Chain A
Amino acid sequence: MAARRVRSAPYLFIAPAVIAFTLLLAVPIGYAVYLSFREVHITGLGLGPGARSERWAGLANYTSALGDHELLAGAGRVLVYGGLLVPVMLGLALLFALLLDADRTRLRAFSRIAIFLPYAIPGVVATLLWGFLYLPTTSPGYYVLHQLGMSGPQLLQGNGMYVALANIAIWGGTGFNMIVIYTSLRSIPAELYEAARLDGASELQIALRIKIPMVLPSLVLTFFFSLIATLQVFAEPMNLKPLTNGISSTWSPLMKVYRDAFTRGDIYSASATSVVIAFVTLAVSFGFLKLAGRRAYGEDNS
């Protein structure tokens, strides 16, 4: 009797999560896939009841999504943005984590909190703050340059936009990644350093030869999260848009999905595009996890 109770208990415990997951994630995903194979069929002028009906579309939505230049251009923009963002952000995060871990650093607590602080600030607000700092009329940087008789670079136009957007994400994300790497640095046994110091290794050598290899798993983890976040960029360009005409409503692929679904009301092609994005995200994620090897991960997943 007791044994049976123990056997059924875990299923009862996970039931709420499984139900919530099914209703809020699995069903919507299935519905998106279903919609991506449908289209609206219009008879006559499309007026009156029954003139618009839904019908099977086959792969039409997919062929038009994959052949859409705007979508491809958006994917290209996100690649440039990510290529700028991820290395700089993780490089800074690693650097700050190593500096925090260096044994002669002062004001450690203050710096750690200050650099982590942007994590608590919504992306919308971060974009807003930086947006005003990019605007020549409200930015102190431009003011100083102007006093010196120079003009600053236009960050809200052309290629400056990549820097402008990447900087917002770097500002928001460096601290979080720094903490993840730092906690991993703290768990390295101190004897390793003592041995290296006895052998005459400098602090820099210790950092390069011992610390960085030892925190590789957390670098892999932070890289992975940053990659996913990059593919899903939406709030920042969306919120920078009102301040500039340099961002179109299809700047990132997800912005295009939003526009297609809610501005144009074409939920079918929006669904096909979302399925393509989800598929690419999954492929990149699994590919990356395979590449990174099971050494870093396998232990957690068994």
Chain B
Amino acid sequence: MSNVIAERTRAVVPVTVAAGPKRKGGWIPTLGLLAGALYTLFPVLWVLIASTKSIDQLFSTFTLLPGSGLLTNLHQLSAYRGGEFWEWMVNSALYAGVGGALSALLSGVTGYALAKYRFAGRGAIFNILLAGVLMPPVVLAVPQYLLFAKAGLADSYWSVLLPSVISPYGIYLARIYAAGAIPDDVLEAGRMDGASEWRLFRSVALPMMAPGLVTVFLFQFVAIWNNFLLPFVMLGDDHKFPVTVGLYTLLLQGANAPALYTLVITGALLSVLPLIALFLSLQRFWRLDLLSGAVKS
């Protein structure tokens, strides 16, 4: 049987026979997906190559031909205004790391309460929290800025960190995850043993929710790292900029001084490397199935 299939496959696509004892025709979907992968990887490939070019090579040589200026570019970028680029990277890591962790914890405790307790106002509170998703960030950012300015907190680390902590989306995910991952009888058994509600949450529920909270953390981390608008509105001091706003200001100056373009390109490459590394290494923690509600309790 498998010989027959292999023979037939060989007749059509000889190259793929070794790949597995599958039926013929798999190359159509495979090629379709590879075309998609080519599309998504192309700009990444371009920036990898472009960052190796000196400013003269950038505008004169064929764009996919590697240049010889990578080290110079890295050096110039690091030296730009006394190492400002690295300050931006550290700031991004700080905003995304601390903000993501706080947000995951807040989402966890809120989602847990909404999933595991029945109390008056539960549905209403959940719906109001969720409606926060619909608020356009700019609509929020303008009054948030004005209020932070009144409180003397505009242009501070807090002005970017605090608004990142509340995530309606994270609460939604945590609630779904808690409902599915924590059996009621485990909580009941804990209550019988006289554990306090807080202890139940900390020692029983939190460990069980850990995989879901890692997902929330990753989502928030990426969302905060990639956020442009909030820090753009809140911050005036370039030493507090995250890398997204920093690159924007570089690009803005590049419009008058094209020599800065190589710095922008090298900076763009460096700014996505941590995210790509995080993304590839923690891939299995991205519980995207939570999103589509595919996990049924």
Contact = CB atoms under 8 A, between A and B. Distances in A.
Say whether A and B bind each other. yes
Interface of A: 2, 5-7, 9-14, 16-18, 20-21, 24-25, 27-29, 31-32, 35, 92, 95-96, 99-100, 102-108, 110-111, 113-115, 117-126, 128-130, 132-133, 137-140, 143, 171, 174-175, 179-181, 183-184, 186-187, 217-218, 221, 228, 231-232, 234-235, 238-239, 242-243, 254, 257-258, 261-262, 267, 270-271, 274-275, 277-278, 281-282, 285, 299-302
A238 B228 contact: yes
Given A20-B106, A171-B43, A242 B254 contact: yes
B272 interface: yes
Contacts of B123: 301-302
Contacts of A175: 40
B133 A228 contact: yes
B109 interface: yes
Nearest to A101: B29
Contact of B272 (A122, A130, A183): A122
A128 B122 CA distance: 44
Contacts of B251: 128, 239, 242-243
B26 A106 contact: yes
Given A117-B41, A275-B139, A140 B64 contact: yes
B139 A13 contact: no
Contact of A122 (B122, B125, B201, B225): B225
Leading 8 A-B pairs by shortest Cβ distance: A104-B26, A13-B113, A114-B37, A9-B197, A10-B117, A111-B33, A122-B226, A28-B143
Nearest to B60: A137
Given A21-B166, A114-B37, A242-B255, A120 B272 contact: yes
Given A20-B166, A117-B41, A186-B294, 6 more contacts: A9-B117, A13-B112, A132-B46, A231-B136, A243-B255, A270-B142
A115 B191 contact: no
A115 B39 CA distance: 8
Contacts of B225: 122
Contacts of B117: 6, 9-10, 13
B175 to A, nearest CB: 9
Given A111-B37, A115-B37, A267 B228 contact: no
Contact of B247 (A17, A125, A281, A299): A125
Contact of A282 (B46, B134, B146, B243): B134
Contacts of B16: 106
Contact of B136 (A7, A18, A104, A254): A254
A138 B44 contact: no
Given A32-B139, A120-B272, A5 B196 contact: yes
B101 interface: no
B65 to A, nearest CB: 9
A110 B271 contact: no
Interface in B182-239: 191, 196-198, 201, 222, 225-226, 228-229, 233
26 contacts: A2-B191, A9-B197, A14-B114, A17-B110, A24-B166, A29-B140, A104-B22, A111-B33, A120-B272, A122-B226, A122-B243, A125-B268, A129-B43, A139-B63, A174-B36, A181-B292, A183-B291, A183-B292, A218-B293, A231-B136, A238-B228, A242-B252, A257-B139, A271-B143, A274-B142, A282-B131
B89 to A, nearest CB: 12
A32 B201 CA distance: 37
Nearest to B112: A13
Contacts of B47: 129
Contact of A107 (B34, B129, B226): B34
Interface string B241-262: 0011001100110110000010
Interface stretch (B66-74, B75-83, B273-281): B273-281
B128 to A, nearest CB: 8
A239 B125 CA distance: 37
A239 B249 CA distance: 10
Contacts of B128: 21
Contacts of B25: 104
B180 to A, nearest CB: 12
B197 A5 contact: yes
Contacts of B138: 232, 234, 254, 257-258, 274, 277
A105 B135 contact: no
Given A111-B36, A117-B279, A125-B272, A24 B292 contact: no
Contact of A123 (B37, B126, B226, B292): B226
A29 B33 contact: no
Interface string B138-152: 111011101100000
A169 B132 CA distance: 23
A160 to B, nearest CB: 18
